Amino acid sequence: MMVMRNFYRCIAALLLVGGLAACGQDADTGVIYLVRHAEKLAQPDDPGLSDEGHARAERLAELMAERDIEEIYSTDYRRTLETAEPVARKLGLQVRLYDPSRLQAFADSIAGKSQRILVIGHSNTTPELAELLGAEPGQSMDESEYGRLYRIERDGDEITARIDNY
């Protein structure tokens, strides 16, 4: 009887240690999605989104809901905030602001997180941020490109990245 009790204690201890190791692995995994804001109006100062841009922002919300986004970051511009709003509303999250002129500091602040994060930026900052996070930036974005979606996954020290369109 004593041998069986010790056997079960050993099995329980192994399961606990294995579970903790698995939790530790999951804690090191994070996914960051980067997008440029959706299509904007042709206005000189801080334009909002066009009808096409609002439709793209809604598609982004559907896509990010499927990916269980936990944090949303945006620059403090009308077009980026309007792109983030449908995602935030759908997921019940607050949009956090970041300063696009301090990309290295921002990249450092999110690189080690284990959450699933969405970052909405601009044509000149999104590829640069991807590179700062360890991904290939791809070709530079011109003013007519809106659908590029970076997916950057970190598992411990290993980074995998890809670029899709949405």
Tell me the per-residue pLDDT of 46-71, one tens digit each, with 9 for 90 and over. 999 999 999 999 999 999 999 999 99
Predicted confidence (pLDDT) at residue 29 exceeds the cutoff of 90: no
Predicted confidence (pLDDT) at residue 1 exceeds the cutoff of 90: no
Which pair of structure tokens corresponds to residue 31? 């996914």
Average the pLDDT over each of 27-31, 39-43, 155-159 and give the range with the smallest value. 27-31
**More confident of the two residues 42 and 9:** 42
Q: State residue 51's pLDDT score.
A: 98
Paired with 123 in beta bridges are none
Tell me the per-residue pLDDT of 2-27, one tens digit each, with 9 for 90 and over. 444 444 444 444 444 344 333 333 45
Tell me the per-residue pLDDT of 80-139, one tens digit each, with 9 for 90 and over. 999 999 999 999 999 999 999 999 999 999 998 999 999 999 999 999 999 999 999 999
Q: Which residues contact 21 (CB under 8 A, 6 or more apart)?
A: none
Q: State residue 127's pLDDT score.
A: 97
- Return the domain boundaries, the chain: 29-165
Q: Which architecture, in CATH terms, is 29-165? A: 3-Layer(aba) Sandwich (3.40)
The whole-angstrom separation of Cα 110 and Cα 106 is 6
| Strand locations in the chain (E) | 29-36, 71-74, 95-97, 116-121, 148-155, 158-165
